[in-house]
Amino acid sequence: MAQLTNALEATGLRAKPGLMERIDLPRRVVFLAAASMIAIVALLLAFIFWQGIQLFVKDGQPIGAIFDSTWNPLADTPEFGILPFILGTLVVTAGALLISTPLSVGVALFLSEVAPNWAKSVVQPALEIFVGIPSVVWGWLGITVLVPWLSDTFPNKIAISMPLVGQVFSMPGFLTGFSWLAGSLVLSIMVLPTITSVSYDAFRAVPQELRTGSLALGTTRWQTIRHLLIPSALSGVLTAVVLGMTRAAGEALAVQMVIGNSPTLPAAITQPVTTLTSQITLDMGNTVFGEPWQDALWTMSLVLLIISVSSVVLVRLINKRRIGQ
């Protein structure tokens, strides 16, 4: 207490703030940084929105036409149905999350609940290395290893038959390894560190008292994880999955290298598909600014932007719900 009193006295004796302190340069600098970031985001949103609506405003395409499944910009009356790209992005992303989420949440639980220190000191750097590997390397691995392996291993029709019911499921084999599945597998590795680190934070945020209390009641570690940790960290894990989704939907290069880029509706996980990002990168260099074709690419960018803005909003809603609890 004595120390505290002394400290207060010292504050009272403080000299009048000098000129530099009154100008408070550091505060102004960081304020400027924040303001310029907001300005950049606002400009970006405005620009993409403006370019994205040109297809309807300038080129007179009805808004509903983009949800058509025919993409034929070369026809005499060009058709700009971008449904194959939207669905392709959604299904490839969904596939990646289905593979990646259990794995990532498992790794996060291992790191936060189970791992001894030496194991943490191995797994965490490994995850950081994962983050640092450029997407072109994943794509390159995909095209040289995964794609040939898929087509060599599963060339024939894949069917599941059940007794009595008969065949319940069948799909064509891999004609080429370039496929929805290859894209999802490559993406699942790329989003793994994102989902892992965000859900790890969520598990660490559960107060230690709850764990010790639960264990004191005689539960096993698995029961604690299942009935206490996962429910309390659920919103954090959902946030992690949504962030992983944003990352996956925005990835272009690695996906483009392995999915085959066939502008048709996704039919089976063994078939080539296409995504918004890969179609934009394929066509942007060869179309000219202001032609309807390029306007359609801008509309596709707008759709991507809407997907990522919605996921940011979703993350906010999930977190708000957690505050409400």
Partner 1 sequence: MLNGTRRFGALAIAAAIVVGACSSAATATPATPAPTPGATDTAVAAAPTPTPAPTINCQTGSITTAGSTALQPLIQDAATAYAAACPGATVTVNGGGSGTGLTQVAAGSVNIGASDVLAATKLQAADAAKLVDHVVCRQGWIVVTNPDVTGVTNLTTAQNVAIWTGADTNWNQVGGPDLPIVLIFRPASSGTRATFLKLVLGGAKEATGGQTLTEDSNGAVTTAVTKTKGAVSVIGFSYYNDPANKALLNGLQLDGVDATIANVGASTYKLSADGNLYTNGTASGLTQAFLDFMMGPQVQGTIIPKDSYGPVAAQ
Query: Which CB sits closer to partner 1, 124 or 308?
Result: 308
Q: How far is the CB of 250 from partner 1 (least distance, A)?
A: 3
Q: How far is the CB of 314 from partner 1 (least distance, A)?
A: 11
Measured distance CA(216)–CA(76) in Å, rounded? 74
Measured distance CA(60)–CA(223) in Å, rounded? 60
Contact 111, 193 (CB under 8 A): no
Site of interaction with partner 1 (CB under 8 A): 73-74, 135-136, 139-140, 143-144, 147-148, 151, 172, 175-178, 194, 197-198, 201-202, 204-205, 236, 239, 243, 246-247, 250-254, 256-257, 260-264, 267, 271-272, 274, 277, 280-291, 293-294, 308, 311-312, 315, 319, 322-323
Q: CA dist 208 to 204, 214, 229, Å?
A: 8, 10, 10
Q: How far is the CB of 216 from partner 1 (least distance, A)?
A: 22
Query: Which CB sits closer to partner 1, 219 or 287?
Result: 287
Q: How far is the CB of 16 from partner 1 (least distance, A)?
A: 35
Query: Which CB sits closer to partner 1, 164 or 288?
Result: 288
Query: Which CB sits closer to partner 1, 23 or 284?
Result: 284
Amino acid in the structure at residue 77: T
Measured distance CA(261)–CA(314) in Å, rounded? 29
Contact 293, 283 (CB under 8 A): yes
Measured distance CA(186)–CA(101) in Å, rounded? 14
Q: How far is the CB of 220 from partner 1 (least distance, A)?
A: 26
Q: How far is the CB of 199 from partner 1 (least distance, A)?
A: 10
Query: Which CB sits closer to partner 1, 92 or 202?
Result: 202
Query: Which CB sits closer to partner 1, 99 or 191?
Result: 191
Alpha helices by DSSP H, listed for the chain, are 2-12, 19-23, 25-52, 54-57, 83-109, 117-132, 135-141, 147-153, 180-204, 208-216, 221-224, 230-232, 234-250, 253-259, 276-284, 292-324
